[in-house]
Amino acid sequence: MKKSTYISSEKVLGDKNNDINENSTFQIIFEQSPISTQIFSPGGTLLKVNKAWVKLWGAKFEDVKGYNILKDKQLIDLKIMPLIKRAFNGEVLDLPPVKYEPNKTINDVSKIQFRWTKALIYPIKDSKERIQKVVLVHEDITEQKLNEQKLIESEERFRALIEKSTDAVQLVSPTGEILFTSESIKNVLGYTPEELKGLGVAPFMHPDDLEYFSSKIQELLKNPKKHIIMQYRVKHKDGSWAWLETTGVNHLNTPYINALVGNFRNITDRKKNEEDLRYQKSLLEAQRELSPEGVLVVSPDGKMVSYNKRFVKMWKFSEKLINIGEDQLALEDATKKLIDPEKFIKRVKQLYKEQKADFEELHFKGGRIFDRYGAPVVGEDGTNYGYVWFFQDVTKRKQLERQKDDFISIASHELKTPVTSIKSYAQVLELKFKKEGNEKAAELLSKMDAQVSKLTNLIGDLLDVTKMDTNSIHFNNTQFSFDELVEELVEEMQRTTEKHELILKGKTNKTINGDRDRIGQVLTNLISNAIKYSPHTRKIIIQSSIKKSAIYFSVEDFGVGIPKNEQDKIFERFFRTSGPGKETFPGLGLGLYISREIIKMQGGKLWVESKIGQGSKFCFTLPIKQNRNETLKNISAGEELKQG
């Protein structure tokens, strides 16, 4: 601290009224001084600041006009207010370094968050030792303080890095003697620093890696301060061999170090993972190349990052195009080979944009047919890694399917006529034997007629399937009462079963426009299935109602039920479910496929709700008034009913 000295107010302020003379030499020095300066009244009110203060604090005098230093709460909290008050009582004082934040005192006066300053504060007195003004001069030491703080933090970080890091640091002499080991060696190899100090490195080395390690040490000795990375095995305290990755540096000539410095970490798990990864990569590459499908992976920026040989062969791409690896060029080349290239390009661009999985059948100009599957590659965190495409040449399969369908269609037509004749002859003979009183023969012919009827139904199903596949099925739509059709069929089917009670619930009281026979075919199929798949229960509930402007119909049994993984498959062609003992129920597996297609073509939706051992409930919706404009709307309404 400095003692109070007398300073003439006239000399400093420039006039008898103690006001700073703007034209005085003092004013020029005050304004142009590179040192931040403030002048206060004896009561602590700020009177004047210079340009250096404005620059230091990022505020103007007008921003802090009326500020009183003796009421500054921040200076009180910093515990330097007693010193400031002593200056206002006449002493010249050096204030200790403080971190001052201007916006804590007066809100939003500065863009500067804080400054570290040292300050000198002294009073200006007149000849009678009366205080006229108090001057506060700041020295900016922010950079110095920040550097000091960084140095402290750096030292603390370095200490923490050495002592707490998962990596270990070791100083070794040129002869291999361990001079120093950090505490983190416990995490790496299980030893304590004290257990290793003074020992040699060689006894810990794996015999197969000793020669490699020695060559790396010789390389270090010849290249001061060069970083050398090495991987080798050493003995862990638990007796196992641990893989280490070490960064070694020759600091033999560095003052205060004078050793070979090794920074090493345990990479045993990483080595194992790398080996597993190499195995998985080899396995995936083998699977990719042996796959019967062509595979292509496209990155988000449109690069063909991965593909197999089959993909190139299937699309007959040139080596030049493949080497360029641009998906856009591949698409352009592919479109030259397709029958409908515009549809293909449009669909691909849409899938890239929407990032959805998709299936499409591609038809080539030469007659080839590909099944095309696509799916986005998305990480667990939602990261887009691109899109993967699978292509399968199904040309031969499609040809066989067409041949099979043609055979079934021809065979069904050819069988229909003789089977119809057999049925007629059987019925005639049955009547004849009944008239003659030969009941046994009549009974046998009756059973024969029933079997022929089953055969006729099977032939009818096969014909329906081929018609649906070729889009040649026709509907005879008329206006009819839905309730009358249901009652008629329930009454008819009740006569065919003695073990089951068909319980009819609800009515629609609606007339619909549709093919009465085809819709009746669906009703018959659903009810007969309910009878077939509930052999050990008696009750079957058949219900009709109106929901969301559509007819809602359901057949519910309490039989074997359908596994969840089969509930979508049962509507596929030739699929047959099985019972609890895995016995397969008789039939071609076409009834539900045909029923679903009929309902769909009539503008409705057919689905199933089922649980194993509790039974199944087959439901469908039909529009009350069907026309072309309402078909899609009603299909959508059926989906809503299914979800509801």
**SS3 label, residue 636:** helix
As a whole number, mean pLDDT of residues 374-385 equals 86
Residue predicted with more confidence, 289 or 351: 351
Report the DSSP beta bridge partners of residue 251.
259
Q: String of b and e for 367-388 (b: at least 16 CB within 10 Å)?
A: ebbbbbebebeeeeeeeeebbb
Residues 508, 511, 514, 516, CA torsion sign: positive
Distance CA 514, CA 479 (A): 7
pLDDT at 310 over 60: yes
CB proximity list for 573: less than 8 A, separation 6 or greater: 465, 589, 590, 593
Q: What is the pLDDT of residues 505-558, one digit of tens each?
A: 999 999 999 989 889 889 988 998 899 888 889 999 999 999 988 999 999 999
**DSSP states along 93-153:** EEEEEEEE-HHHHSTTS-S---EEEEEEEEEEE-TTS-EEEEEEEEEE-HHHHHHHHHHHH
- Which pLDDT score is estimated for 3? 43
- Reported as a pLDDT band with limits 50, 70 and 90, residue 2 is very low
Distance CA 374, CA 348 (A): 9
Q: At what angle do helices 341-354 and 327-335 cross, to 10 degrees?
A: 150
- Which pLDDT score is estimated for 642? 43
- Reported as a pLDDT band with limits 50, 70 and 90, residue 482 is very high
In the block, residue with structure tokens 């200056």: 87
- Which pLDDT score is estimated for 442? 74
Residues 513, 515, 518, 521, CA torsion sign: positive
Residue predicted with more confidence, 249 or 446: 249
- Reported as a pLDDT band with limits 50, 70 and 90, residue 151 is confident
Q: What is the pLDDT of residues 424-437, one digit of tens each?
A: 767 777 788 788 88
Q: What percent of the chain has pLDDT over 90?
A: 30
pLDDT at 233 over 90: yes
Any idea which of 13-22, 43-52, 158-167, 364-373 has the lowest mean pLDDT? 13-22
Distance CA 26, CA 11 (A): 9
pTM for this one? 0.39
Rg over alpha carbons for the chain, rounded to the nearest Å, is: 47
Distance CA 391, CA 289 (A): 13
CB-CB contact of 334 with 346 (8 Å): no
pLDDT at 5 over 50: no
206 CA to centre of own chain:
44
Q: How far apart are the first and last CA of the chain?
A: 87
Any idea which of 78-92, 241-255, 384-398, 575-589 has the lowest mean pLDDT? 575-589
Distance CA 547, CA 352 (A): 39
Which residue in 83, 117, 84 sits closest to 100, CA to CA?
A: 117
- CA within 13 Å, CB half, 555: 21
- Which pLDDT score is estimated for 162? 63
In the block, residue with structure tokens 């691109």: 386
- Which pLDDT score is estimated for 9? 40
Q: What is the pLDDT of residues 262-288, one digit of tens each?
A: 888 898 888 888 888 787 777 767 776
- Reported as a pLDDT band with limits 50, 70 and 90, residue 577 is low
Distance CA 180, CA 186 (A): 14
CB proximity list for 634: less than 8 A, separation 6 or greater: 550, 603, 604, 605, 621, 622, 623, 626
CB-CB contact of 314 with 294 (8 Å): yes
Cα dist from 295 to 97, 298, 306, 313, whole Å: 70, 10, 8, 11
As a whole number, mean pLDDT of residues 197-208 equals 91
CB-CB contact of 413 with 423 (8 Å): no
